């Protein structure tokens, strides 16, 4: 007759079952996250917004030429390093983002595991693994995935009682994106005593110092970020305003008045616009993290505030900048919100009597359903749409036009375009296109020395309407002596791309 198990053995066996279940859930989350990111890697272009800029910056590392801007240099340095072993122009950056995105899932689990049981920690990791915006960032040549990984790794090390290493990692995150400054300051209340706060800030400053030195050298003045125009545009009447070649209309143009008067005017305008901007950012947060998940996260923030509140401090800072609310900004908060949601859910289940095992089981099932519904809501909304339509414009048409220009254009020619895609695919430098009236814009292209000017249909019908006569009226094109159409291609409705040679003849 075998001996009956001791109470201690029974407790150990009972405690092992949740850990086993949590391990299985974590494994499933990692596999699902890897599969989703693999799908994104091979079914999206991987290029959006500033992607060509980061590729060009990476290609210039190790050369005598000065690195490009405006951007921090950390991500492009990693891309340059990855290019030593990964072929192609675009794949090194995508592999860096993929590695960071996968590591972020594990970092989220480890952060959550320090606060929660295994199953709840695995639920937080699953929310990160299956979030559409985080999956999209993991397959794109963009900085978000790398920045998020470094930021949460820094908070993990800080939570482990090592502020020096944590501050250093967050300083490296600053080398990727300037928002790390906000996180470093916001984490201070969670670091104690005073000596450890000083260590945290000093380590952050030392790790960030090389980036500050590079930015300042490039701009010939002390600066903490190359995108000072976003701060200067805080009081602008229109966010992300297109720039104008005519200086009087430019956001950079400042009326001649004392510095204090200009500062007071700018602050007053920024304060007047802050409520509307904050409303817009909150709307993007809700699209990123729908109401069922947000309610659980709010409960978790109240129950267990701490260093994980630091990434959320980015939210009240964003309305101080002259940027249009966008889904790419609140996605950095998702891992923290996921952990807080798991904390809130675990707290609700914990309120039930431990002896009511059936009620606790039903509560866990209901909680899992709420998490699934919240994530499904996210996938059905704008966040899911961003993944399903991840390309920033008609990339196939961009590639085709760029290849044509590379074959038929002058080597090293200057290409004027609102976005850098055609010059990037053609292997030519870009001149940024202003938003003046038609004649002033074309005159600027001539003065700037541009060899080619690019017009995209979908841009023309929305924010460059001055090109409508040039694109739609053959008689207007025949009268125009400064521009000559040499290419037009279309891959579908509103995907047409025209390339004009700047003839410099009137």
How many Cα neighbours within 13 Å face the side chain of 383?
A: 27
Residue 49's region, left for phi above 0, alpha for psi from -120 to 50, else beta, is left
| Residue 321 pLDDT | 82
- Asked if 40 and 390 count as a contact pair (C-beta separation under 8 A), the reply is yes
pLDDT over 60 at 506, yes or no: no
Arithmetic mean of pLDDT, 194-220: 92
Share of the chain above pLDDT 90, in %: 61
Arithmetic mean of pLDDT, 109-120: 93
pLDDT over 50 at 402, yes or no: yes
Arithmetic mean of pLDDT, 77-85: 95
What is the C-alpha separation between 397 and 488, in angstroms, rounded?
Answer: 10
Lowest mean pLDDT of 56-60, 137-141, 369-373, 414-418, name the range: 56-60
DSSP secondary structure string, 171-198?
HHHHTT-TTHHHHHHHTGGGS-SHHHHH
Beta bridge partners of 484: 501
What is the C-alpha separation between 470 and 344, in angstroms, rounded?
Answer: 58
Q: Which residue has the tokens 């996250």?
A: 33
What is the C-alpha separation between 431 and 378, in angstroms, rounded?
Answer: 38
302 backbone dihedrals φ, ψ, rounded to 5°:
-70, -40
How many Cα neighbours within 13 Å face the side chain of 71?
A: 23
| Residue 127 pLDDT | 96
What is the C-alpha separation between 110 and 118, in angstroms, rounded?
Answer: 10
Digit-coded pLDDT (tens) for 247-275: 544 434 444 455 556 556 667 777 888 89
At 371 the three-state DSSP class reads helix
pLDDT over 80 at 490, yes or no: yes
At 369 the three-state DSSP class reads helix
The more confident residue out of 504 and 195 is: 195
What is the C-alpha separation between 349 and 363, in angstroms, rounded?
Answer: 6
| Residue 223 pLDDT | 86
| Residue 120 pLDDT | 92
Q: Please give the structure tokens belonging to residue 170.
A: 């967050």
Share of the chain above pLDDT 70, in %: 86
pLDDT over 90 at 13, yes or no: no
What is the C-alpha separation between 488 and 452, in angstroms, rounded?
Answer: 13
Q: 3-state secondary structure string, 208-264?
A: HHHHHHHHHHHHCCCCCCCCHHHHHHHHCCCCCCCCCCCHHHCCCCCCCCCHHHHHH
pLDDT over 50 at 504, yes or no: yes
pTM: 0.87
Domains of the chain: 17-240+252-291+304-337 (no CATH), 395-502 (3.40.190)
- Asked if 403 and 425 count as a contact pair (C-beta separation under 8 A), the reply is yes
Of 309, 72, 273, the C-alpha closest to 179 is 72
| Residue 237 pLDDT | 62
| Residue 446 pLDDT | 93
| Residue 411 pLDDT | 92
Residue 43: pLDDT band with limits 50, 70, 90: confident
Rounded to 5°, the CA angle 304-309-315 comes to 145
| Residue 157 pLDDT | 97
Residues with Cβ within 8 Å of residue 41, at least 6 apart in sequence: 94, 98, 138, 139
What is the 8-class DSSP label of residue 427? T
| Residue 49 pLDDT | 77
Q: Please give the structure tokens belonging to residue 492.
A: 């579908």
| Residue 143 pLDDT | 95
Arithmetic mean of pLDDT, 126-148: 95
| Residue 11 pLDDT | 45
| Residue 255 pLDDT | 47
At 51 the three-state DSSP class reads helix
What is the C-alpha separation between 319 and 230, in angstroms, rounded?
Answer: 11
- Give the mean pLDDT of the chain: 87
The more confident residue out of 301 and 25 is: 301
| Residue 505 pLDDT | 57
Digit-coded pLDDT (tens) for 457-479: 988 998 889 999 999 999 999 99
Arithmetic mean of pLDDT, 392-410: 90
What is the C-alpha separation between 194 and 161, in angstroms, rounded?
Answer: 14
Digit-coded pLDDT (tens) for 436-454: 899 999 999 999 999 999 9
| Residue 1 pLDDT | 45
At 441 the three-state DSSP class reads helix
What is the C-alpha separation between 481 and 485, in angstroms, rounded?
Answer: 11
At 506 the three-state DSSP class reads coil
Lowest mean pLDDT of 8-22, 23-37, 102-116, name the range: 8-22
DSSP secondary structure string, 283-343?
HHHHHHS-HHHHHHHHHHHHHS-SGGGGGGGHHHHGGGSS----TTTGGGGHHHHHHHHHH
């Amino acid at each position: 007759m075998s001996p009956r198990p001791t109470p201690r053995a029974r407790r150990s066996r009972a405690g092992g079952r949740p850990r086993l279940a949590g391990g299985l859930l974590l494994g499933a989350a990692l596999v699902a996250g890897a599969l989703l990111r693999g799908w994104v890697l091979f079914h999206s272009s991987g290029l959006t917004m500033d992607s060509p800029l980061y590729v060009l910056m990476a290609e210039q590392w190790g050369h005598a030429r000065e690195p490009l801007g405006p951007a921090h240099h950390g991500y492009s340095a990693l891309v340059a390093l990855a290019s030593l072993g990964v072929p192609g122009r675009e794949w090194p950056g995508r592999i860096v983002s993929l590695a960071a995105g996968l590591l972020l899932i594990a970092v989220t689990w480890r952060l959550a595991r320090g606060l929660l049981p295994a199953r709840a920690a695995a639920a937080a990791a699953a929310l990160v693994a299956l979030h559409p915006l985080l999956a999209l960032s993991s397959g794109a040549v963009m900085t978000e995935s790398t920045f998020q990984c470094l930021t949460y790794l820094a908070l993990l090390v800080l939570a482990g009682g090592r502020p020096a290493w944590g501050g250093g990692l967050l300083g490296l995150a600053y080398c990727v994106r300037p928002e790390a400054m906000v996180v470093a300051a916001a984490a201070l209340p969670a670091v104690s005593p005073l000596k450890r706060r000083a260590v945290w800030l000093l380590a952050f400053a030392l790790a960030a110092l090389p980036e500050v030195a590079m930015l300042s050298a490039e701009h010939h003045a002390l600066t903490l970020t190359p995108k000072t125009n976003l701060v200067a545009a805080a009081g602008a009447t229109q966010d992300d305003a297109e720039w104008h070649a005519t200086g009087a209309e430019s956001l950079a143009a400042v009326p001649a008045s004392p510095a204090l008067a200009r500062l007071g005017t700018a602050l007053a305008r920024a304060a007047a616009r802050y409520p509307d901007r904050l409303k817009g950012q909150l709307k993007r947060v809700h699209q990123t993290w729908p109401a069922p998940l947000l309610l659980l996260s709010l409960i978790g923030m109240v129950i267990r505030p701490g260093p994980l509140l630091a990434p959320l401090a980015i939210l009240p800072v964003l309305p101080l900048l002259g940027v249009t609310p966008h889904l790419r900004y609140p996605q950095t908060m998702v891992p923290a919100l996921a952990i807080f949601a798991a904390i809130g859910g675990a707290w609700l289940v914990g309120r039930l009597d431990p002896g009511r095992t059936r009620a606790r089981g039903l509560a866990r099932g209901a909680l899992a359903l709420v998490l699934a519904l919240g994530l499904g809501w996210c996938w059905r909304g704008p966040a899911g749409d961003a993944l399903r339509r991840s390309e920033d414009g008609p990339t196939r048409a961009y590639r085709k036009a760029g290849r044509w220009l590379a074959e038929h254009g002058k080597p090293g020619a200057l290409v004027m375009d609102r976005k850098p895609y055609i010059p990037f695919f053609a292997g030519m430098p870009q001149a940024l296109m202003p938003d003046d009236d038609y004649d002033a814009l074309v005159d600027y292209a001539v003065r700037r020395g541009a060899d080619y000017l690019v017009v995209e249909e979908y841009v023309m019908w929305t924010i460059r309407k001055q090109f409508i006569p040039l694109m739609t009226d053959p008689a207007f094109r025949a009268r125009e002596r400064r521009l000559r159409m040499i290419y037009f291609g279309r891959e579908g409705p509103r995907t047409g791309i025209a390339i004009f040679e700047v003839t410099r003849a009137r």
